[in-house]
Amino acid sequence: MAQAKENNPTPRAKAPAAPKAAAANGTAPAGEKRTRPTTRRPYYNRRPRRAQQPKEAATPIHIYPLGGLGEVGKNMTVYECNGDMIIVDCGLVFPDSEMFGVDMVIPDFTFVVQNKDKIKGLLITHGHEDHIGSIPYLLQKISLPVYGTRLTCGLIKNKLEEFGLAGKTKFVEIVPRQKIKLGCFTVEPIHVNHSIPDAVAFAIDSPAGTIIQTGDFKIDYTPLACGVTDLSTLSEYGQRGVLALLSDSTNAERPGFTATEQKVAAGVRSLFARARNKRIIIATFASNIYRVQQIIDLAVEDGRKVAFSGRSMVNNTAMAQELGYMHIPEGTLISVDELNQYPPEQVVLVTTGSQGEPLSALSRMASCSHRQVRVGPGDFIIISANPIPGNEKSVTKIVNGLLLLGAEVIYESMYDVHVSGHACQEEQKLMLTLTKPKYFLPVHGEYKQLKKHALTAASLGIPTSNILIAENGSNVILSQDEMKLGEPVTAGAVMVDGLGVGDVGNVVLRDRKHLSEDGLVIIVATVDSKTGKVLAGPDLVSRGFVYVRENESLMDGAQSIVENALERCVDEHVRDWNSVKTRVREALSSYIYRRTKRSPMILPILMEV
């Protein structure tokens, strides 16, 4: 054997097979040379043994929701893998009744700005405000290419023109089934039904696996246009393997299927017949191109002219016509200034204000402050939208105002004039069944809706350990091996008030709430800077507190309290003006509460001479 190793490096011919008996016990019969068992490879023909490699860790992907969880609106999600980032959606939410004077609420962009060099692009699922409304504010901070379908890009451009950003932003129009390469991500848009054309979901492929984010969707088997949600592509991804699904939870509490948009057409047609001799005013979302087109078609059938009121309604319909998403027959469209030139039964006015927005066209009609439209008994008003959570009181206020003016008002709870654009439970189940995700994250909804959607997923067999109800600012880390939470990132709400972005915080809102409840009392006095003696005043001015002429004794007493407090400060040699103001404020506050059980905001102003 040693010789073979030295002089004959090639393998020898195999020795004759040993008898079965010998093979059984491994011994050679008498008179024969013992040989090695032929089943063992000779050492000179063995492959070199490979060094054992350590198991390579699975590539993770990080998901950072910056909005849209625990709330309806403000949708924004950041994905990160191998040092690359992409953003999906950048929306706003309307303020609630406690946010006095606030126009809108947008996500906190701190985390995005800190990582701006990693971000490859901003992808938009569709053109509703809760998905595009914050884009101008983000692009004021960082420059990003924006990816969206044709209509979505058109709606965003309209918004950016108001901020002077349209010419400075790169837009990339995307088409369903055509993939986009963004760093280590490959993104495929997938057509879905929603209440606006050109809505898509995104299949986001990365080294960690494929994630599907549905955006807002429903499954309408008889849509007005654009075809049914692309179930076959979703199924293909499910067959290949989906790491995680992030799915719309808005209607997670509603059983069954969402009604088709065709149902609205039938409902509104019957209302047109009821309003045969009246002027029709219909309020709906300016971005609901399908709904507006239905109204135009019904108006043409009924021989009526159509006018639009509200800046966003005028802009969006003009853009939709330009891009070919809306068709208005020649001679049908008139301006709102021309309404009174036609008999009431020959016109339809399509307006904004379905959510009770204070400055919307419908709100101005209800308060008799609309310059061109005066509502009265000859008007038939249809509100073709559901109130967004938090807007119910505003909508009710407008409905009451219109009814007091003598108009007949129809809204969703009375008639089939609106259907949701979001999937109900059975559609959510179908999405889960088709995509077969390993992990599931319910998104786009308040906590109760996220919770219900999670329970639906669990009922379909997804392990509860693979379902996560995240929060805004969560750092969700996914790999083929596990799902876990990392260190959270900065996320929150930034309030926009006029041109001010982020300069209204909780302290300002608290002061505004205080002023709205109990009013303001201002104390003005001129004092000697050296001695502290009062040279003029003190004078008291109140706003929103009491009617002074009917409460002169109260105000006289308040003035005496202030005078006494200032005199005590002089006697006690108090020269720190902040301390003086505090003493005056406390003394007057105690007096006013004792007399009225109210606590107005008290603002002392001391002018030194």
| Residue 283's pLDDT band (cuts 50, 70, 90) | very high
Tokens of 167: 């010419």
Share above pLDDT 90 across residues of the chain, in percent, rounded to a whole number: 53
pLDDT for the residue numbered 70: 93
Angle between helices 150-163 and 311-323 (to 10 degrees): 140
Q: Which residue has the higher pLDDT, 454 or 3?
A: 454
Residue 390 confidence (pLDDT) above 80: no
pLDDT for the residue numbered 302: 92
CA–CA separation, 479 and 470 (whole Å) = 17
**419 known member of a binding site:** yes
**497 known member of a binding site:** yes
**194 known member of a binding site:** yes
* Residues 474-531 pLDDT 10s: 999 999 999 999 999 999 888 786 555 655 556 666 666 666 777 888 888 888 777 7
pLDDT for the residue numbered 27: 46
Q: What is the DSSP string of 458-496?
A: HHTT--GGGB----TT--EEE-SS-EEE-------EEEE
Question: 588 φ, ψ to 5°?
Answer: -70, -40
**453 known member of a binding site:** no
Q: Are 473 and 492 in contact (CB under 8 A)?
A: yes
**474 known member of a binding site:** no
**511 known member of a binding site:** no
pLDDT for the residue numbered 42: 46
Q: Which residue has the higher pLDDT, 147 or 411?
A: 147
Q: Give the chain's domains with CATH numbers.
A: 61-256+420-500 (3.60.15.10), 262-411 (3.40.50.10710), 519-608 (3.10.20.580)
pLDDT for the residue numbered 101: 62
Tokens of 192: 């879905």
**573 known member of a binding site:** no
**418 known member of a binding site:** yes
**Active-site residue among 248, 297, 370, 379?**
248
Residue 17 confidence (pLDDT) above 80: no
pLDDT, mean of residues 318-336: 92
Nearest to 354 by CA among 299, 408, 391, 327: 391
Residue 536 confidence (pLDDT) above 90: no
Q: Which residue has the higher pLDDT, 196 or 531?
A: 196
In DSSP terms, 483 is beta-bridged to: 478
Beta strand 379-383 with 119-123 is unpaired
* Residues 291-322 pLDDT 10s: 899 999 999 999 999 999 998 899 899 999 99
**286 known member of a binding site:** yes
**Active-site residue among 191, 370, 422, 453?**
422
* Residues 420-441 pLDDT 10s: 899 999 999 999 999 999 999 9
**337 known member of a binding site:** no
pLDDT for the residue numbered 25: 44
Lowest mean pLDDT: which of 47-56, 61-70, 176-185, 500-509?
47-56
| Residue 384's pLDDT band (cuts 50, 70, 90) | confident
pLDDT, mean of residues 326-350: 93
Count Cβ atoms below 10 Å from residue 520 Cβ, excluding itself. Answer: 16
Strands (E), 193-343: 200-206, 209-213, 242-248, 279-283, 305-309
Residue 257 confidence (pLDDT) above 60: yes
- Residue 84 known to be catalytic: no
**131 known member of a binding site:** yes
Residue 18 confidence (pLDDT) above 50: no
Burial class (CB in 10 A: 0-12, 13-18, 19+), 190: buried
Beta strand 493-497 with 104-107 is antiparallel
pLDDT for the residue numbered 150: 95
pLDDT for the residue numbered 213: 98
pLDDT for the residue numbered 16: 44
**Dihedral Cα 556, 558, 563, 565, nearest 10 deg:** 160
Average pLDDT of the chain to the nearest whole number: 85
**564 known member of a binding site:** no
pLDDT for the residue numbered 57: 57
**422 known member of a binding site:** yes
pLDDT, mean of residues 162-166: 84
Residue 88 confidence (pLDDT) above 80: yes
CA–CA separation, 441 and 431 (whole Å) = 13
The sign of the torsion formed by the CA atoms of 597, 603, 606, 607 equals negative
pLDDT for the residue numbered 402: 94
- Residue 220 known to be catalytic: no
CA–CA separation, 472 and 171 (whole Å) = 27
pLDDT for the residue numbered 590: 87
| Residue 22's pLDDT band (cuts 50, 70, 90) | very low
Q: Would you give the distance in Å from CA 27 to the centre of its chain?
A: 80
pLDDT, mean of residues 76-101: 87
pLDDT, mean of residues 55-71: 85
